[in-house]
Amino acid sequence: MEFNAEQFKQNLSARLRRQYGKDISQANKHDLFDAVSASALELIMNNWMATRQEYEKKPVKQLYYLSAEFLMGRALSNNLINAQIKDAVKEVLKDMNIDFDMIEDEEPDAGLGNGGLGRLAACFLDSLATLDYPGHGYGIRYEYGMFEQRIQDGYQVEYPDNWLAHRDPWEIKRSDLAVTVKFGGNIAYGKTPDGQPRFYIENAEEVTATPYDMPIIGYGTNTVNTLRLWSATSPNGFDLQLFNNMEYNRAVERQNSAENISRVLYPNDSGPSGKALRLKQQYFFSSASLQDLVRHYVADYGTDFSKFADLHVIQLNDTHPVVAIPELMRILMDDYNIGWDEAWAVVTKTFAYTNHTILAEALEKWPISIFQGLLPRIYQIVEEINRRLLIQLRAKYPNDYDKHHRMSIIHNDKVYMAWLAIHSCFSVNGVAELHTELLKTAELKEWYDLYPEKFNNKTNGITQRRWLLNANPLLAEFITKRIGHGWEKDLTKLKGLEKFVDDDESLNELINIKMENKQVLADFLKHTQNEFLDPESIFDVQVKRLHEYKRQLLNILHVMYLYNRLVEDPDYNPPARTFIFGAKAASGYRRAKTIIKLINTVAERINNDRRVRGKIRVVFVENYRVSVAEKIFPAADVSEQISTAGYEASGTSNMKFMVNGALTLGTMDGANIEIVEEAGKENAFVFGHLTEEIKQMEREHSYNPQQYLDSNPALARVVEQLVDGTYDPTHQIFKELYDSLVYGVEGQRADVYYVLADFDSYCKAQERIAAEYMDKKLWAKKTLINIANSGKFSSDRTIEDYVRDIWKIKKLEVK
């Protein structure tokens, strides 16, 4: 992209004048952030329009990634880097005495996602644009994203994330493309003006869906794709009559009901919420997106839909947008008078489904009463899809009535969204090799038996543009200095770093870079939460959503154990360690919140105990989010990936740590297995029971946590310390955690996630870490080998896999 410094300057001034009535000297940091972003967008606009025109010009197949979540984070720095104008912009600003870093920090995160699944969607968009693929995102423009977490008295407290408080300079409202989405009402059957019989809905609640477009800028290419997010309003405005009668609340009822649909992201990242509003969100953006696609198609090709599947492929990010399947059936049949068989042929060639969860009980199912009440016509279509599925099942498995029942899309008064997806889609994929195997052999075995050809694996990846080039400029420079450019678009090039494993100068530089990044994180945490971190200590990091299966509890129990040891054994002198946690708990997940309280309680105790000063510290990073993650990964020495084997579908933070040179401390779970395979077992710290061993204990009901307590006094002691007053004088706060480990509560057996079973193995792995970290050079070597072998985990590779096996789209370069 050509960059004219003078013009950019003028543009910036003009923006400040027009938007804020200020000149540069009067502008505050926010004004500057807004004006710089808007000026950058203007530069990008040519390419954005050219990309759209290119896609319109030729009829090319395009990919639409439907996702309830896009965890984009900040845009400014990333967009400038991808457009390759960051240095130039920085230069201009410096000329004007403006510090870029300060401006950058004014941008709120676009936190429109919970965690892994939402961030994966964001990484995919970056890779699609960078690789010149016509692929776009469709989602919801939540007015409030992932809640802001504050820690008060050690507890998580949630606050609304008002990310749109100021305008978002990156979005463009497209009122001209608004569509209507209908809820409730009743099904009517009648004739169109031209005499065609057809179903329609009457007395429905009508909601206007207005799209806001965000540019997705490819790195070092002209391609700029689009993320289209829908916002809900009422077409009827407020009720003036009621208002004039001073019934102010009733006057805005309809408006509020519509706007509530895109009000806020649901902050639970597992398990069905069972809330009608959540289903409304799902149908809202699925319907709007499909209406958008079909309208565009009809404008070009008319109502012959035989080419639809040649021009569209729709990837469903988990079951959240699966209601798009019956919605496309409805649009084709009710709006365009297409027959069932023809519509079904289009649908089954268009949709593909990605599963992100292993546990069948976590799969989404909607009570019929909610589903049918909200979407009567859609429910009717699902019933018909299911009727035909059952005919198929009876023919294939005669007399196996239990199987028919289990596989029925509708049973036990619920609609099974995953069943609808698997039956209707031409592709079903898991997100890591182990995960896909478990789907095929266990959780979805019956479906795999029925449709083996649909199942495939697509191991997750992350974009090196955001997570290395942008987040860790020092390491990026180190790499480029040795292997040149090219890794930014082909991460396997990092393999070239391996020839520096015995180069002392490289190893020393690597050590220094890590140290500098640790200092940056330390400064940040000093500034934001007045924490003191020693960059000389090992930064041992676990950042991810808080879940029992992710076992933050195992981590903190080990910290408690280490603390006991340090206090009691003066001869024990391991290297200093800082245990860093960052995690949000779903607001209604009580036990997860208690684990956060435990981490903070242990931190408070240890950090204030003089006896262990300089040896061990515990830090809970408040409000962990993308922009903070960008500071944490570059500073990490140890990457905690300690889920119970068989429970983490993939994990993606494990990959972000790896490219930033942290060593994995992990179980053989999710993508950890593939990471260890690439890096070599000797360059990671693997521990814990294997999936097969866990499954066997599960099958045979042979797990006895008490046995581990009996045989390991140090473990028994830390477990007792949860309730003996050591950390909590009331003995009450952590009793629930204690009971869940030792006795089992609420009908669950004791220690569901095998924390006690893996404790000893985890401690030993931690000891290996302590021993190996003392040898700085050896550690640096392992770091370098990890970085050099992280190429597989680029989302560019993942996208190429999807393109080859599922999407079959072609690169289209924009001139």
Which residues participate in catalysis according to the annotation?
356, 544-545, 550, 652, 656
Angstrom distance (rounded) from CA 68 to CA 59: 28
From 356, 377, 615, 782, residue interacting with ligand 26Q (rule: CB under 6 A): 356
Q: Shortest Cβ distance from residue 543 to ligand 26Q (Å)? A: 13
Cβ closest to ligand 26Q, residue 459 vs residue 600:
459
Toward ligand 26Q, which CB reaches closer, 223 or 641?
641
> β-pairing, 312-317 with 62-66?
parallel
Tokens (6 digits) for 588: 């209604």
Q: Residue 797, interface with ligand 26Q (CB under 6 A)?
A: no
By the rule CB under 6 A, 268 interacts with ligand 26Q: yes
Cβ closest to ligand 26Q, residue 170 vs residue 589: 589
- Find the binding residues for ligand 26Q in span 442-461 (CB under 6 A): 460
587 scored as a contact of ligand 26Q (CB under 6 A): no
Binding window for ligand 26Q (CB under 6 A); candidates: 262-270, 483-491, 768-776, 785-793: 262-270
Quick check: 583 binds ligand 26Q (CB under 6 A)? no
To ligand 26Q, the closest distance from the beta carbon of 802 in angstroms equals: 13
Q: Which strand (E) or helix (H) includes residue 716?
A: helix 713-720
Residue position matching structure tokens 């019929």: 368
Shortest distance, position 796 Cβ to ligand 26Q, whole Å: 16
The span from the CA of 128 to the CA of 226, in Å, is: 11
- Out of 126, 364, 548, 678, which residue is the one contacting ligand 26Q (CB under 6 A)? 364
Q: Which two tokens stand for residue 720?
A: 């007792």
Smaller CB separation from ligand 26Q, 281 or 291: 281
- Report the alpha-carbon distance of residue 236 to residue 232 in Å, rounded: 12
**Of the two residues 143 and 269, which places its CB atom closer to ligand 26Q in the complex?**
269
Q: At closest approach, how far in Å is the CB of 442 from ligand 26Q? A: 16
Stretch near ligand 26Q under the rule CB under 6 A, chosen from 90-98, 111-119, 226-234, 342-350: 111-119
Q: Does the footprint of ligand 26Q cover residue 114 (CB under 6 A)? A: yes
Per CB under 6 A, contacts with ligand 26Q among 458-517 are 460
Residue with smaller CB distance to ligand 26Q, 61 or 119: 119
Asked if 521 touches ligand 26Q (CB under 6 A), the answer is no
Q: What is the DSSP string of 535-603?
A: TTSEEEEEES---TTTTHHHHHHHHHHHHHHHHH-TT--PPPEEEEEE----TT-HHHHHHHHHHHHHH
Regarding 215 and contact with ligand 26Q (CB under 6 A), the answer is no
Smallest separation (angstroms) from ligand 26Q to the CB of 68: 7
Please list the alpha-helical segments (H only) found in 268-375: 276-301, 308-311, 324-330, 340-350, 368-374
**Could you give the CA distance from residue 20 to residue 320 in angstroms, rounded to a whole number?**
40
Q: Which two tokens stand for residue 10?
A: 């003028």
Q: Taking Cα atoms as reference points, which of 754, 268, 735, 688 lies closest to residue 549? A: 754
Residue range at the interface with ligand 26Q (CB under 6 A); choices 113-121, 388-396, 699-707, 806-814: 113-121
Q: Please tell me the distance from the alpha carbon of residue 403 to that of residue 397, in angstroms, as a whole number.
A: 8
- In the DSSP assignment, the letter for residue 611 is G
Does 704 bind ligand 26Q (CB under 6 A)? Our answer is no
**Residues 478, 513: contact at Cβ < 8 Å?**
yes
Interface with ligand 26Q, residue 129, by CB under 6 A: no
At position 720, the amino acid (one-letter code) is E
Output the smallest distance, CB 385 to ligand 26Q, in A: 21
Considering only residues 421 to 440 of the shown chain, the ones binding ligand 26Q according to CB under 6 A are: 431
Beta carbon nearer to ligand 26Q, 278 or 717: 278
What is the x/- site pattern for ligand 26Q, positions 80-109, by CB under 6 A? ------------------------------
| Shortest distance, position 547 Cβ to ligand 26Q, whole Å | 8
Rounded to the nearest 5 percent, the helix, strand and coil shares of the chain are 55, 15, 30
Q: Of residues 233, 255, 257, 270, which one binds ligand 26Q by CB under 6 A?
A: 270
The yes or no reply on residue 675 touching ligand 26Q (CB under 6 A) is: no
Q: Is 321 in the site for ligand 26Q (CB under 6 A)?
A: no
Site for ligand 26Q in 136-165 (CB under 6 A): none
User: Footprint of ligand 26Q on residues 30-59 (CB under 6 A)?
Assistant: none
Q: Counting contacts by CB under 6 A, is residue 761 touching ligand 26Q? A: no
* Residue least distant from ligand 26Q (Cβ): 116
Q: Smallest distance, Å, CB 604 to ligand 26Q?
A: 30
CA–CA separation, 564 and 572 (whole Å):
11
CB of 282 to ligand 26Q, least distance (A): 8
**Per CB under 6 A, does 316 bind ligand 26Q?**
no
Residue in the block written with tokens 């240890």: 606
Q: Among 169, 376, 670, 705, which residue sits at the site for ligand 26Q (rule: CB under 6 A)?
A: 670
Burial of 95 (0-12, 13-18, 19+ CB in 10 A): exposed
Q: Which residue in 54, 148, 269, 758 binds ligand 26Q (CB under 6 A)?
A: 269
**Shorter beta-carbon distance to ligand 26Q: residue 50 or 276:** 276
Closer to ligand 26Q by CB, 207 or 671: give it.
671
Question: What contacts 24+ positions apart, CB below 8 Å, involve 711-720?
Answer: 712/759, 712/760, 714/561, 714/564, 714/565, 715/557, 715/561, 715/756, 715/759, 715/760, 717/561, 717/564, 718/557, 718/560, 718/561, 718/564, 719/557, 719/756
Instruction: Classify strands 638-641 and 538-543 as parallel, antiparallel or unpaired.
Output: parallel
Cβ proximity to ligand 26Q: between 462 and 541 the closer is 462
Closest CA to 580 of 512, 684, 653, 508: 653
d(CA 618, CA 598): 11
**How many of the other CB atoms lie within 10 Å of CB of 247?**
13
Nearest-approach distance from CB 27 to ligand 26Q, in angstroms: 39
User: Are 269 and 68 spatial neighbours (Cβ–Cβ below 8 Å)?
Assistant: no
Q: Which amino acid makes up residue 424? A: S
List the interface residues with ligand 26Q, window 600-639 (CB under 6 A): none
User: Does residue 195 sit in helix, strand or coil?
Assistant: coil
Among positions 640-659, residues that touch ligand 26Q (CB under 6 A) are 648-652
Pairing type for strands 638-641 and 663-666 reads parallel
Which pair of structure tokens corresponds to residue 413? 């008064």
Rounded to a whole number of angstroms, the minimum distance from the CB of residue 357 to ligand 26Q is 6
| Closest C-alpha among 720, 668, 659 to residue 690 | 668
Tell me whether residue 138 or residue 561 sits nearer to ligand 26Q (CB atom): 138
Task: Give the binding-site size for ligand 26Q (rule: CB under 6 A).
Answer: 22
Three-class SS state of 303: coil
Distance CA(113)–CA(121), nearest Å, equals 9
Which stretches of the chain bind ligand 26Q, using CB under 6 A? 114-117, 120, 266, 268-270, 272-273, 278, 356, 364, 431, 460, 648-652, 670
